[in-house]
Amino acid sequence: MKRDQAEELKSLQDTLYFIGGKWRIPVINSLCNGNRRFREIERSIPGITTRMLSKELKEMEMNKLVKRTVYDDSPVTVEYEPTEYCRTFGNIIMEMINWGRDHRKFIQKNKE
Amino acid sequence: MKRDQAEELKSLQDTLYFIGGKWRIPVINSLCNGNRRFREIERSIPGITTRMLSKELKEMEMNKLVKRTVYDDSPVTVEYEPTEYCRTFGNIIMEMINWGRDHRKFIQKNKE
């Protein structure tokens, strides 16, 4: 099958647009690792601010990446759960982790 | 083997930092598809401006992702070639293309 470069680029750019920014992927990763409460997610991502995480989760809820559930306990608790759709980023995240790991090994080797 | 979430996140963030911005990945993809001349690369990526591509290629040359060769023809020609290192992004790019393609199918199906 002949590769359609224009179609490939469009697919690639759609994905990049969806991933947008530096926090979306770490937040998806944190949710897929089982973190559910706001503070848990926040603590799992050093460098993210409360404001940025809040904004990210709101956008992800609108985009059906995250399901937000309010439990009527006392005090009220809120949980964030990744949707099936959110989990479709698994392969991209895995490849990114692999790349980062290989890259670090490569840098360390060149230092020795 | 127990997964080390902090290590995984670090690898992930290193990769995201390296990919940075919306043009790096499309430019890598264009080079890996065989485009070598500035105008070829530019035409292969709708939306990129001359200034942005120029900046991206300069940064990529500094980061050893691209080899720039000047041929002493008349007029002088310049070629950009992806390094082996540049090609290590292949798996990430492939997964991003797959995701974008699935996503488009999903959207189209839901419209019907």
Q: Which is more confident, A87 or A21?
A: A87
Q: Give me the mean pLDDT over the A86-96 stretch.
A: 95
pLDDT at A45: 96
How long a stretch of residues is chain B?
112
- What's the pLDDT tens digit per position in B36-84? 999 999 999 999 999 999 999 999 999 889 999 999 988 899 999 999 9
Q: Do A98 and B91 touch (CB under 8 A)?
A: yes
Alpha carbon separation from A4 to A1, A9, B27, B96, B105 (Å, rounded): 9, 9, 16, 15, 16
What are the domain boundaries of chain B? 5-111
CATH class as words, domain B5-111: mainly alpha
Structure-model confidence comparison of residues A67 and A107, the more confident one: A67
Residue of chain B whose alpha carbon sits nearest to that of A17: B22
| Residue-level pLDDT at A74 | 87
In chain B, residues with a C-beta closer than 8 Å to the C-beta of A14 are 100, 103-104
Quick check: B88 pLDDT over 60?
yes
ipTM, 2 decimals? 0.87
Contact state of B29 with A9 under an 8 Å Cβ cutoff: yes
What pLDDT does B4 receive? 87
Beta-carbon separation of A9 and B44 below 8 A: yes
Contacts of B63 (CB under 8 A, 6+ apart): B18
